[in-house]
Amino acid sequence: MRVVKMGGSVASRVEGLLKELEGCGDILIVPGGWIFAEAVRKLDSQRKLPEKAAHWMCIAGMEIYGYYISSFGVGTVNELRKVSGIAVLLPYLILKSSNLPECWEVTSDSVAVWVASRLGINEVVKITDVDGVILNGRLVERIKASELAGRNTCVDGFAPKLMVEEGVNMFVCNGLRPGRVKNYILRSQASLSVQSHAKGTLIEGK
């Protein structure tokens, strides 16, 4: 089974992405926060919310986006378990028992890594609107999570630290480019040796 984080930045392609994921094995989708997390950020800029409250409002936003993804014909789960086919995780109640920091630095990226680690899965596929991690103006194909500490990238600030602690990798790819997600998953299933040649960035959990 794979854990796939589907960011709000690819919401315009949800239906197409779900079709790509068909035939790619069992997939548990962790939704991003999309426009709902952005609404919380906007409210925070106006009212200065307590960080803990803002965190849980954003987690609730993940659930709303999860229901949006499920409207295209996939089921939802609200417990940590391996799934058959494709399902969307509704994380709010699950995360109430987690030890993740309740702060802005922890977003759906960190949640996806935490979910994968609890399920004994060593990789997250992050679907977003960029080709991968860009450093100094160029795409990095492979990098250690520890090398991202303190850097401003497409991955949230806490996820690299968690990846190192849990030994979970993350492959970042552009979901707005049709076929890239499916291409990576099918090629990496066939041979682990070709992972680094897929279009995107492999962040190693070390």
193 pLDDT above the threshold of 90: no
> How many CA atoms are closer than 13 Å to the CA of 202, on its beta-carbon side?
15
User: What pLDDT is attached to residue 197?
Assistant: 58
Give the model's pLDDT for residue 186: 85
Are the beta carbons of 42 and 21 closer than 8 angstroms? no
The band of 150, judged by pLDDT with boundaries at 50, 70 and 90, is confident
Q: Rounded mean pLDDT of 22-49?
A: 97
Domain ranges of the chain: 2-204
Angle between helices 108-118 and 51-70 (to 10 degrees): 70
SS3 of 127, please? strand
Nearest in space to 153 (alpha carbons), one of 111, 107, 206: 107
Asked if pLDDT for residue 195 goes beyond 60, the answer is no
Residue 4 bridge partners (DSSP):
29, 125
pLDDT of residue 194 exceeding 60: no
- Say whether domain 2-204 belongs to CATH 2.40.50.100: no
Radius of gyration of the chain (CA): 16
Mean of pLDDT over the chain? 94
Question: Token pair for residue 125?
Answer: 């596929």
